[in-house]
Structure 1
Amino acid sequence: MGGACSRKRDLVDDGDPRGAVSGRYNKSGSSKQLMFALSRSSSDALQRRQGKCPSLMELCVRKICEDIGRYESFFMLPRDVSQQIFDELVRSRRLSETHLEAFRDCALQDIHLGEYPGVKNSWMDVISSQGQSLLSLDISCSDISDSGLCHLKDCSNLQNLIYNYSDQISDRGLEFISGLSNLTSLSFKRSNAITAEGMRAFANLVNLVKLDLERCLKIHGGVVHLKGLNKLESLNIRCCNCITDADMKPLSGLTNLKELQMSCTKVTDAGIAYLKGLRKLTHLNLEGCPVTAACLEFISGFISLLDLNLNRCGLSDDGCEKFADLVKLRSLNLGFNNITDSCLVHLKDLNNLESLNLDSCKIGDEGLLRLKGLLQLKSLELSDTEVGSNGLRHLSGLNKLESINLSFTLVTDSGLKKLSGLTSLKSLNVDDRQITDAGLSALTSLTGLTHLDLFGARITDFGTNYFRNFKNLRSLELCGGSITDAGVKNIKDLTSLTLLNLSQNGNLTDKTLELVSGLTGLVSLNVSNSRITNAGLVHLKPLKNLRSLSLESCKVTATELKKIQLAALPNLVSVRPE
């Protein structure tokens, strides 16, 4: 939702199969810190809005944290009280290495310091002093190295260890966790230090149920060390572009495996053949892998499969008849493939299907006829297909449909009338220049809508009158319309809104900011490419929950934006222009 209203057209995000390339996992980048801050401030804001009265214990914990410098040790306190104090110090960013010493030998069970600043080897002495009480540890993005990991030998009951972005360790450091045989969950996501040789340490973790090695780029050949982990149920090797068919063979004996994430690897149909014995598999992600429809010959044997992602795999219609065997499927992603209406014939009997993604496939009106029997369908993605208004009549009986994306299709105002009976709809995306006020009027029966995206639609001030029917809207995007301040008057009473995008409406003025100042639940506001000036910024003061604000290509300065941020918008973490 930037000033230019860029859409998802460009690239696949090999870290997130639903969106475009993101920098949120860049260890030194601001995006990841932004996501952390947004999540934290959202929780705090929600609690304030709900007016929750803190308990006596909560008040005491907060007071102790405010005066933390007065206390040398919490050793004598009950463990649950020490745990609450520790958690609050982390949440409020008050925990320092000096304060950490007060928690020595407190028998804490959970130490979650992921992305916390300043965590280093010297912290591990106090962390390890929790001994056999410690059950869960997150030290992601820290500077802990091999010498720090060696302390974990004293925490033999550890069940959950998360050390994502662990660039400071080596194969030697991994040896120190090989004795943690009680581990059930282990994550080394985006850790360039993990190598095939280092994965020998995993062979002893016989109770491991979940292993996350996403974006570990040096593990080719190391998967062989997992073949004895018979309790393993979930394995994530997404975006490990070093993984090939040869790495699949050791997985063939992991018969308890239920979830396998391996998008953007080099696995082909031959590699999938090794997996044909995994009959308990329920979730399989092959997005971006160089497989063809021939792999369905083996996938159709996964009789428990519920979720299958074949997005961007280059499938064609040939071989798609095997989809008919996947009768338990609840979610199927076929986006960005070369399939046509002929493929959809084989989906018509998947009666348990709840989510279907056909984004950018060669699907037309006739194909939708094959979907009319999918009565459990809740989510349907048809963006960038050849679907037109006539085809939408086939969806009229899908009464459980909650989300449909019709962006960049051939649907016009007349087509939207065919959706008027789908009263379960909560999310609708019809961003297209062919949609006008008349199309919006046809949607007034959809009073349960919570998300409405009209990017590029030709909505005028008159059309905004219809928004009065959508009292439950939490997200509204009117980017690129032709509304003025007069039209915003019909939006100002949508008090449930948390996201509002009015960018590219060039006639909006400071009056718009005055009108939306009553939408105090707003978390994100975009009014880029408008006539808003520095003088209008004063109207933003009531929006205390605002975390993202975009006023690009407006007559505002970064200096004035910074002033209003410091003076009145405590939760604002993303501002454009900066």
Structure 2
Amino acid sequence: MGGICSRKQNQPVIEDGVCRAVSRRYGKSSSSKWLTNSSFRPTVEQPPGGAGTCPSLLELCIYKICQSIDKYSSFSMLPRDVSQQIFNELVCSNSLTDVSLEAFRDCALEDIGLGEYPDVKDSWMGVISSQGSSLLSVDLSGSEVTDSGLALLKGCSNLQALAYNYCDHVSEQGLKHISGLSNLTSLSFKRSDAISAEGMRAFSGLLNLEKLDLERCSAIHGGFVHLKGLKKLKSLNVRCCRCITDSDLKTISGLIDLNELQLSNCNITDSGISYLKGLHKLRMLNLEGCNVTASCLQSISALVALAYLNLNRCSLSDEGCDKFSGLTNLKVLSLGFNEITDACLMYLKGLTSLESLNLDSCKIGDEGLANLAGLTLLKNLELSDTEVGSNGLRHLSGLKNLESLNLSFTLVTDSGLKRLSGLTSLKSLNLDARQITDAGLAAITSLTGLTHLDLFGARISDSGANHLKYFKNLQSLEICGGGLTDAGVKNIKDLVCLTWLNISQNCNLTNKSLELISGLTALVSLNVSNSRITNEGLQHLKPLKNLRSLTLESCKVTASEIRKLQSDALPNLVSFRPE
């Protein structure tokens, strides 16, 4: 029986960032990071199939089975793909228990995704291991599974992927139990103090391993010696492992098939980077926060296949930056929070394959942007906290493929924004700056394709908010300069695609504003802090069934009333303030 339906689809892994960066100058509440956290599993409230959509017979059957799961003692006679879908639905709805799990014994499931699922322990491992040679992937992240539980996986000889992140119940002895899983291609032990240099000996026989993730493992210095024989290894992540030094890189310099190496916030210097010169297949190198300078570019310039390079928060200055000119295959380059100036940018003008460039908080000005005018493939440009002003934006007018532009905390004024009017591919624009006013919003009304607009610190009044009607595709809007009243919110009520709305810091907003936005049923996150909202206004939020985050700090609202709203009308609400 096939695996055609059994593998879970569309599950992106958040690696380097979160949905939105938090400004260092303004403390924005309600982080969006939780929205992508695997621990969020909405409860099953209605049968599959949305309004106007007819669910399939199989979907209805699975829904019905999950609703009365206690009636079934075994699914082993069902086709494997059906059992897999029932299992996945129970996990997604937080309905899998010790009792219901037993029904999946000997079902030949392929995927056991229990990352961050509550109360997973050794007693569950008997059922998990009973899947035998059919089992291809297991995620036990955040569980209480110990050495004894891991030992039961030895019989799952075809296991290809194992994730055991954030777990504190394994020892070096327990790691030995996975040493015989020779078909493993992916292994993840993020943030595990139990992974020591000696414990990594268990990895030495995993000759088919292609991906190894040891992020935030604090005791692995010296353990890379056990990876020398893993010639198929393509991806190694040791981010935030301060114990990693130059000598560790020397040990893995022979892994010539590596194409991804994550070393951010490791204790690496220019000397250590020299050991990477032979990794000619390396396409991704992350050195953010390492103790390297522009001198390391001498070694990096030999990595001719490099497409992604992150040098954020290093100790780069202009001296030595001429080596950038040879990295002609780069598509993503991050140089944020360094001491580089316009002089460095002249060496980027030949990097015509660049699609993303981060210059956040660098000493960049208007003249430096002239070197970017020929980078016509650029899709993302980060200029936050630079000295760029209105005059410099003329150099960006030809970047017709630009989709994301961050101009927060720059010197750009309303008049300069007119130079962006031709960038019709823009989807995300950040204008978090006090000097931006209603006139600036009027200047960008031609950018009708925008899906994200950040005006957090801008001074937008009710009159200026009238220009929002041009942005029908907006999915995310922040407009928090303090000038909005209920009259201005009337211009937001028709932005029906909005999933994220932050209108905090507008102290004159009343319950009327909640009434006006009650029709924005796609909203997932809403922030109306520092306003005149009261408990009585909460009733207007009842139609927002998709709401997961609600922030009403410094309002006349009590946590008990929000909990009542959650219980009565908003079952998907998982984060709220005050709490």
TM-score (norm 2): 0.93
Corresponding residue number in structure 2 for 1:86: 87
Corresponding residue number in structure 1 for 2:415: 414
Relative to structure 1, is the Cα distance of residues 503 and 32 closer, same or farther in structure 2, using a 3 angstrom cutoff? closer
Mapped contact 2:42–2:92 kept (Cα < 8 A): no
Q: Distance in 2 between matches of 1:214 and 1:179?
A: 23
Corresponding residue number in structure 2 for 1:142: 143
Corresponding residue number in structure 1 for 2:302: 301
3-state SS of the aligned residue for 1:252? coil
Relative to structure 1, is the Cα distance of residues 14 and 280 closer, same or farther in structure 2, using a 3 angstrom cutoff? closer
Relative to structure 1, is the Cα distance of residues 478 and 336 closer, same or farther in structure 2, using a 3 angstrom cutoff? same
Mapped contact 2:38–2:116 kept (Cα < 8 A): no
Mapped contact 2:441–2:464 kept (Cα < 8 A): yes
Corresponding residue number in structure 1 for 2:8: none
Look up the equivalent residue of 1:284 and give its one-letter code: L
Mapped contact 1:425–1:448 kept (Cα < 8 A): yes
3-state SS of the aligned residue for 1:565? helix
Q: Distance in 2 between matches of 1:43 and 1:295?
A: 53
Relative to structure 1, is the Cα distance of residues 112 and 513 closer, same or farther in structure 2, using a 3 angstrom cutoff? same
Cα deviation code 1:506-542 (max 9, x no counterpart): 1111110111111111111111101111111111111
Corresponding residue number in structure 1 for 2:382: 381
Corresponding residue number in structure 1 for 2:5: none
Cα deviation code 1:447-499 (max 9, x no counterpart): 11111111111111110111111111111101123111111111111111111
Mapped contact 1:14–1:239 kept (Cα < 8 A): no
Q: Does 2:112 align with 1:111? A: yes
Relative to structure 1, is the Cα distance of residues 52 and 161 closer, same or farther in structure 2, using a 3 angstrom cutoff? farther
Q: Distance in 2 between matches of 1:251 and 1:120?
A: 35
Q: Which segment is superposed worse, 544-553 or 36-45? A: 36-45
Report % sequence identity.
70
Q: Distance in 1 between matches of 2:40 and 2:444?
A: 33
How does 1:287-436 map onto structure 2 within 5 Å?
287-436=288-437
Structure 2 unaligned residues grouped into runs of 5+: 1-13, 25-30
Q: Does 2:527 align with 1:519? A: no
Q: Does 2:98 align with 1:97? A: yes
Mapped contact 1:476–1:497 kept (Cα < 8 A): yes
Shift of 1:45: 10
Look up the equivalent residue of 1:232 and give its one-letter code: L
3-state SS of the aligned residue for 2:515? helix
Structure 1 unaligned residues grouped into runs of 5+: 1-12, 23-29
Q: Does 2:75 align with 1:74? A: yes
Relative to structure 1, is the Cα distance of residues 21 and 222 closer, same or farther in structure 2, using a 3 angstrom cutoff? farther
3-state SS of the aligned residue for 1:575? strand
Mapped contact 1:15–1:239 kept (Cα < 8 A): no
Shift of 1:267: 0.7
Cα deviation code 1:360-417 (max 9, x no counterpart): 0000000001100000001100000000000000111110011100000000011101
Relative to structure 1, is the Cα distance of residues 43 and 286 closer, same or farther in structure 2, using a 3 angstrom cutoff? farther
Look up the equivalent residue of 1:152 and give its one-letter code: L
Shift of 1:231: 0.3
Look up the equivalent residue of 2:386 and give its one-letter code: T
Q: Which segment is superposed worse, 555-564 or 178-187? A: 555-564
Shift of 1:558: 1.3
Corresponding residue number in structure 2 for 1:207: 208
Shift of 1:58: 1.6
Mapped contact 1:45–1:545 kept (Cα < 8 A): no
Q: Which segment is superposed worse, 399-408 or 474-483? A: 474-483
Look up the equivalent residue of 1:359 and give its one-letter code: D
3-state SS of the aligned residue for 2:526? strand
Shift of 1:15: 7.3
3-state SS of the aligned residue for 2:352? coil
Q: Distance in 2 between matches of 1:43 and 1:381?
A: 40
Corresponding residue number in structure 1 for 2:193: 192
Relative to structure 1, is the Cα distance of residues 480 and 328 closer, same or farther in structure 2, using a 3 angstrom cutoff? same
3-state SS of the aligned residue for 2:325? helix
Q: Does 2:445 align with 1:462? A: no
3-state SS of the aligned residue for 2:276? coil
Higher relative contact order (CA 8 A, sep 6+): 1
Q: Distance in 2 between matches of 1:76 and 1:162?
A: 29
Mapped contact 2:121–2:145 kept (Cα < 8 A): yes
Corresponding residue number in structure 2 for 1:265: 266
Shift of 1:49: 5.1
Look up the equivalent residue of 1:273 and give its one-letter code: S
Give the RMSD, CA atoms, in angstroms.
2.2
Q: Distance in 2 between matches of 1:47 and 1:414?
A: 50
Q: Distance in 2 between matches of 1:533 and 1:99?
A: 43
Cα deviation code 1:131-183 (max 9, x no counterpart): 11111111111111111111111111100101101210000000000000000
Corresponding residue number in structure 1 for 2:217: 216
Relative to structure 1, is the Cα distance of residues 475 and 49 closer, same or farther in structure 2, using a 3 angstrom cutoff? farther
Q: Distance in 1 between matches of 2:47 and 2:312?
A: 35
Shift of 1:60: 1.3
Mapped contact 1:293–1:318 kept (Cα < 8 A): yes
Shift of 1:41: 3.9
Relative to structure 1, is the Cα distance of residues 209 and 64 closer, same or farther in structure 2, using a 3 angstrom cutoff? same
Mapped contact 1:183–1:208 kept (Cα < 8 A): yes
Q: Distance in 2 between matches of 1:500 and 1:60?
A: 37
Between the two proteins, the alignment pairs up a number of residues equal to: 559
Shift of 1:81: 1.8
Shift of 1:220: 0.5
Corresponding residue number in structure 2 for 1:478: 479
Q: Distance in 1 between matches of 2:47 and 2:332?
A: 31
Mapped contact 1:479–1:501 kept (Cα < 8 A): yes
3-state SS of the aligned residue for 1:346? coil
3-state SS of the aligned residue for 1:272? helix
